[in-house]
Structure 1
């Protein structure tokens, strides 16, 4: 099947966060992590069929959706789960905030490494927990864990390790040895791991498969809350459907207790879209990954030619993490916004001097944005 990722739907005439930020301005938005591609045809067809039914009563996730997810995780990631392990959520951000509530007590520590998706940094405080952190390090063009620093940062009051894998924003798909080290650390320090794996379907390098940390063995599975959703892979974030995979019954009960009275049911259209995505969205995903690989190569070539900018190769996601510290820019995000390109400021990820660029867009948009960046630097 042919999927036209070069087509640019006009998003300026509908309400939306990505393009709405720059309404009325000539700024190309390459910031927030949603893609400028229409959803897969099987998802659109399933939504149309459900809409035609015409009744939208209270609805829970049914057995066919659970089966589609179970089959999808086994097929795509080699992880065999039980339907009983699934806890349905309206979003992954809700999921890791719940993990902070469900694990430990008031004042306990929650570890994460920076840079990281900004809601990771605010979630501990939302639940009266302490943020404990240290930075990832870049070694020879690859972002890695500073293992001694992580082990030193995790104190006796730390109860939760919040992992982002594949990583937003640095684009790593952590390998088995890295995940084994985290698992051993969690077991030796008696930590629960909350692993945000929302980008698991977007591993760009075919030789670097996504490995769910809970799939390593039963020991780490018992102390892991894995968060996933179809939203990033199949570009349906505003349909608000996600899930936690929690193999341990006791941990799952604590998590579900933390949900009571504050977490709404998943939107019915999100449930419909999720089932269609996991069951029939494979060909679209394969084509998308091929397109994103081409976009990634364009970004890497352009950044390499920009004075003072550099980036590590993203193994996963559609996000480029660009180091601007040698470019002599006081405020890189403001500089490029003035040149007509909207990017995410690295400061909100805990690492000032960097920018995050979303290359999940048609090539015409991407090439125009990269050209604007190059001109802005050349004309300083």
Structure 2
């Protein structure tokens, strides 16, 4: 019997004592954790089965990237995005955040600068700060109900060398159109910038009209100045295993990336490879069901939030992360206000705008409904 998206993803999983960062934050508190970007869904059975087979084998020595996984990745990029990549372009990593940090250090000298969107996923700005690189900002602004880069207000200095891009956008959920990406490419060409494109949410498209276009697929110029970062981790909820990929077409950039990585960043562990291969080989039907479920949650969330006083949620084209404008709330901190009401969101200040909160809706319907009820009751109590 085939499970419906509702029944498959509405099965509660008790994560409170499972060494979950997400759930441990509010351990022994009546606060619903809806912050960090991992879902509360069980992984596809094919992944669990593949991991069981590996565990039952009983040996966990050094591993290497399976040729089959590389074949699947090359095939996936072509079938989903019409982007032809070569196997030797792929560098496997134990996490996407380390890929951002490696790119900053590999492609910029200490005196060269990094351009980051804002508001944005915190590792973008922290990567520049940790590497002690000058940081400038590309503002994200609302344009026709979509969060987009404002290139006309982007800070560029003579030292600027690397531009960070997040597509789909986190937070905001925008899937950039081809002409928007072409404008970013023209900007990079004009200022002779490399582009690091974080595309980890590219499988999680909620708008039926949205189409993900890898930045590097735009042209040879885009490919030769780019590092593309992807992973199955958000898509299939295997972030804790640590399997990510950098796709670097230009041999010189790839050598610099590998040199920076050498001796510092460990290889991907064998179980992560096993999970990633199973995900890309067998789990597309599960992904389609997940997307159907997330679309239901997105629609319910949007309706409920926009019916509440003080709050505004603009359309979410991708990701399971809602970027909620709470700047009109008559409270010092929207994050603390909702946390005290029993809903643990991500503070907008972490992304660069304290008037916002980010809500992770990859959870059961019961959790989402309870969180929305608590938020509504807290707002009603203000009047």
Report the TM range for the smaller structure's normalisation. over 0.9
Question: Can you list the C-alpha shifts for 1:187-208, whole angstroms capped at 9, x where unaligned?
Answer: 1211110000010110111211
Q: Offset of 1:39 from its aligned partner?
A: 0.5
Superposed structure 1 runs of 4+ greater than 3 Å apart: none
Q: For 1:208 and 1:18, locate their aligned partners in 2 and report how far apart those are by CA, in whole Å.
A: 29
Alpha-carbon RMSD across the aligned residues, in angstroms, is 1.0
Q: Report the 3-state secondary structure (helix = DSSP H, G, I; strand = E; otherwise coil) of the residue aligned with 1:251.
A: helix
- Aligned residue for 1:133, secondary structure, equals strand
Q: How does 1:196-345 map to 2 (within 5 A)?
A: 196-345=198-347
Contact 2:118 2:351 in 1 (8 A): yes
Deviation sequence 1:226-262 (CA, Å, 0-9, x none): 0000000001000001010001111100100010111
8 Å Cα contact 1:72/1:279 also seen in 2: no
Q: Which runs of 5+ in 2 are unaligned?
A: none
Q: Give distance in 2, aligned partners of 1:49 and 1:78.
A: 33
Return the TM-score normalized by structure 2.
0.97
CA shift, 1:128, in A, is 2.2
Q: Counterpart in 2 of 1:43? A: 47
User: Matched residue of 2:50: which SS?
Assistant: helix
Provide the rounded CA distance (Å) in 2 between the counterparts of 1:127 and 1:161.
15
- 1:95-174 correspondence runs (5 A): 95-150=99-154, 153-174=155-176
CA distance in 1, matches of 2:276, 2:193: 31
- 1:131-160 C-alpha deviation (Å, 9 max, x unpaired): 11132111332212212112xx11111000
Deviations 1:177-222 (A, max 9, x none): 1100111111121111000001011011121111100011111101
> How far did residue 104 of structure 1 move?
2.2
Aligned to 1:90: 94
Q: CA deviation at 1:161?
A: 0.4
Q: Does 1:76 align with 2:80?
A: yes
Is the partner of 1:364 in helix, strand or coil? Answer: helix
Deviation for aligned residue 1:75: 2.0
Are 1:14 and 2:43 counterparts? no
Out of 176, 179, 189, the position equivalent to 1:177 is 179
> Does the 8 Å contact 2:138/2:151 carry over to 1?
no
Match of 2:353 in 1: 351
Shift of 1:325: 0.8
2:34 is aligned, of 8, 15, 30, to 30
Deviation at 1:379, TM superposition (A): 1.2
Q: Unpaired runs of 5+ in structure 1?
A: none
Q: Deviations over 1:256-286 (max 9, x none)?
A: 0010111001011110000111111100000
- How much does 1:78 deviate? 2.1
Distance 1:157 1:371 in 2: 49
TM-score (norm 1): 0.98
* Paired residues of 1:195 and 1:213 also in contact (CA < 8 A): yes
Equivalent position SS for 2:137: strand
Question: 2:138–2:149: 8 Å Cα contact kept in structure 1?
Answer: no
Does the Cα contact within 8 Å between 1:141 and 1:311 map onto a contact in 2?
no
Contact 1:214 1:220 in 2 (8 A): yes
Match of 1:60 in 2: 64
The total of aligned residue pairs comes to 378
User: Aligned-pair distance for 1:74?
Assistant: 1.7
